[in-house]
Amino acid sequence: MLRKKIINKISEITETELSLVTESTKLSSLGAWDSLANVVFIAYAVSDFGVHLSGEELMEAETVGDLVKMVENKVKS
């Protein structure tokens, strides 16, 4: 459920067709994944999952799956 919610949100943030966004999708391939998208995703992670992500953490993510794992790990701890 969490994975699906995150993928849906990334699709929404980047205005990318949902079927094109998978865990293996490189963030760099999403044209609208930029600093504003990072801020929106950080706010989403706080509001929907209660986890705090830093800009530095997001910069380390290369794929959608990396973001999913990042949120999952923080939710579990």
CA distances from 50 to 12, 22, 72 (A): 20, 23, 11
Give CA–CA dist 51/59, Å, rounded: 17
Give CA–CA dist 59/28, Å, rounded: 11
* Residue 67, in any domain of the structure: yes
Residues ≥6 apart with Cβ < 8 Å to 74: 45, 49, 51, 52, 53
Label residue 8 by pLDDT band (50, 70, 90).
Answer: very high
Q: pLDDT at position 53, please?
A: 95
Convert the pLDDT of each residue in 11-41 to its tens digit. 999 999 999 999 999 999 998 999 999 999 9
| Structural domain count, the chain | 1
Give CA–CA dist 50/75, Å, rounded: 8
pTM of the predicted model as reported, rounded to 2 decimal places? 0.92
Give residue 37's domain range.
Answer: 2-15+26-76
- For the chain, the average pLDDT equals 95
* Residue 20, in any domain of the structure: no
| pLDDT, mean of residues 53-64 | 94
Whether the predicted pLDDT of 1 surpasses 90? no
